[in-house]
Amino acid sequence: QTHRHTYIYTKHRVGKQNLQYFEAGIERQLGMYNNRISLLFNITCDFFSSLKERPASSASQTSTVVNERLQELVRMFKERTEKAKEKLIDPDSSDEDSVIPCECKEEDVEEEQTSCCKVKTPRWIRACMHYRFPASIDPFTNLMYVLWMFLVSLAWNWNAWFIPVRWAFPYQTPDNIYYWLLTDYMCDLIYILDIAIFQPRLQFVRGGDIVVSETGHLFDVASLVPLELFYFKTGINPLLRLPRLLKMNKHEVFSLLSLLRVIRTTTYLLYCLHCNACLYYWGSAFKGLGSTKWVYNGEGNSYIRCYYFAVKTLITIGGLPDPTTLFEIVFQLINYFVGVFAFSIMIGQMRDVVGAATAGQTYYRTCMDNTIKYMSSYRIPKDVQNRVKTWYNYTWQSQGMLDEQELLTQLPDKMRLDIAIDVNYSIVSKVPLFQGCDRQMIFDMLKSLRSVVYLPGDYVCKKGEVGREMYIIKAGEVQVVGGPDGKTVFVTLRAGSVFGEISLLAVGGGNRRTANVIAHGFANLFILDKKDLNEILVHYPESKKLLRKKARKMLTKGKKPDPKEEPKGPPQVQTAPVRQETPRLLRAALEMTERSTGLKGALAKVKEKTNKSSISLQVNIHKT
């Protein structure tokens, strides 16, 4: 079967001469297969012929049956080989019964078919053909649904903007009527697909459970009322398509963005002016173009001139010609009333949108103004006030808020943990002190971290202070300083470094700061309070032991042995200790003993030997 596929491919790709070489190669391969089968058959026959020469027994009878089956099997192999040979030489002449069963995959068949064709199907078309719609669609996270809603919005806006224009202005003519109808029916098709495919799959919450909508909205169905059937009686009147505006095209994700809310409010205003311009042209055409000074005179671009009139009327700018007839007076009064209410609503809504968009910045300005007012009332020095202003400006520009914790306090604990992991875990996990600790302990610690911004030159901690916090550098640099003048830089710590852990863990018998740390430039630090850390480590004793062990090792590693003072002169040789003089009382007692007992000679000899040994010891020491 593999040779058959190769043959078909080669027959379409190469010439006749190359095909002859290919057929000759196939013949050689078939000959090799036949020789192998014949050799197997001969060996089997020789084996069973030797069995026949033996006396007949039950074993020989069994061998005879096996021999017959093998001969039948060899015959079937030969027939199969002949059929395969005929199939390779002339595939079209073989009947359906001689087709060799194929165990290849569907992909191989598709590749064979595409290889025979000159034009291949594009990949995106194949992807669309194999795409299957999901059983349910989340309207907040599904990108495909958001793009589809954008397409539905285009269809709805087509009907909303062009139905009044086609009804009032003479833009729909018999020459272009088919283009208008084609676009209308394409919009109707989008409506039908939305109701039939997307709306039944939308997810919504009911009683705390996420369920799937089974039917579309009532207004969506009402928007497809086929009033176009009246075209046969009244002609093609665009007003019969007004039910298309009942389509509920609302996506809550769009309403969360302040910029889109401003655009939507502005669009409402422009649409009111658009409808008023259409009504003004219809009223002018009803009274007669150019019949009075108030109506449109028919000069220039009709839509632009009527839109200009609508703007001046609704905004009540003035400078309009006075209406003369009853129809013109009523029309102008309605315009004035609608303009007052519409613009008051639009201005109020625009104020709310802009206020909501700038609420954070307003809160920041209010806090800074109140702080400056407080410092001025207590006559705080100007340099301190300037540093406070700098802190407010930098914090707002770098974070967009003054306190991150205030923003996250309204969220549930699980959501705050997820946000903290995404924002801070990549920094905390690289800290050497916490490597090897329980992963859940690190997660609990992330929820207790506070972000604080320090200005250039600010003291983060001072030597001798009671340590109540541990610091993790999120961004920026800090310097450990000391020395007689307090300005000698010992080391510079960068993002991911930790300091203050020795005092926090109370290693070494105290919780005092061992060095001064100042901010080198603007520094954003995470602060972990001692109370919060102890509450966390209660539930993780193994991690507590590991942290204390690491902190103790860091403390001993940081200590250096005190240098011993060495004499500048030549090395002094250690001398033997000087023999102390015998006390007078003891010497007098020895003399009396010598006189009374006659031991003078013996004691003298011992004394002489002792003196000689001490003298020789001193001489040897000087020689060395």
CA atoms of 3 and 141, how far apart (whole Å) = 51
pLDDT at 189: 94
pLDDT tens per residue across span 508-558: 555 678 788 999 888 988 888 888 888 888 899 898 888 888 878 877 765
Distance of CA 180 to the CA centre of its chain: 45
Nearest Cα neighbor of 437 from 534, 541, 529 is: 541
Are 498 and 471 a contacting pair, CB within 8 Å?
yes
CA atoms of 454 and 479, how far apart (whole Å) = 12
Name the amino acid, one letter, at 451.
Answer: S
569 Rama sector, left if φ>0, alpha if ψ -120 to 50, beta otherwise: beta
Are 215 and 200 a contacting pair, CB within 8 Å?
yes
Query: Homologous superfamily of 411-557 in CATH?
Result: Jelly Rolls (2.60.120.10)
Nearest Cα neighbor of 19 from 119, 89, 72 is: 89
Share of the chain above pLDDT 70, in %: 68
Mean pLDDT, the chain, integer: 75
Which residues sit opposite 527 in a β-bridge? 450, 471
pLDDT tens per residue across span 289-303: 888 888 998 888 999
What's the 3-state SS for 178-237?
A: HHHHHHHHHHHHHHHHHHHHHHHHEEEEECCEEEECCCCCHHHHHCCCCHHHHHHHHCCC
pLDDT tens per residue across span 89-145: 555 444 444 444 444 444 444 444 444 444 567 777 777 777 777 778 887 778 888
Residue 117, helix vs strand vs coil: coil
Residue keyed to tokens 């000159």: 118
Residue keyed to tokens 């999120």: 474
Q: How far is CA 421 from CA 224, 414, 536, in A?
A: 49, 11, 17
Residue 463, helix vs strand vs coil: coil
The ranges assigned to domains in the chain are: 143-342, 411-557
The model's pTM: 0.53
- Among the residue ranges 434-443, 455-464, 495-504, the one predicted with the least confidence is 495-504
pLDDT tens per residue across span 188-218: 999 999 888 888 888 777 766 777 765 557 8
- Is the model's pLDDT at 351 over the cut of 90? no
Half-sphere exposure of 377 (CA within 13 A, CB side): 6
Residues 41/44/46/50 CA torsion (nearest 10 deg): -160
- Who contacts 98 (Cβ-Cβ below 8 Å, separation ≥6)? 83, 86, 87
Are 528 and 498 a contacting pair, CB within 8 Å?
no
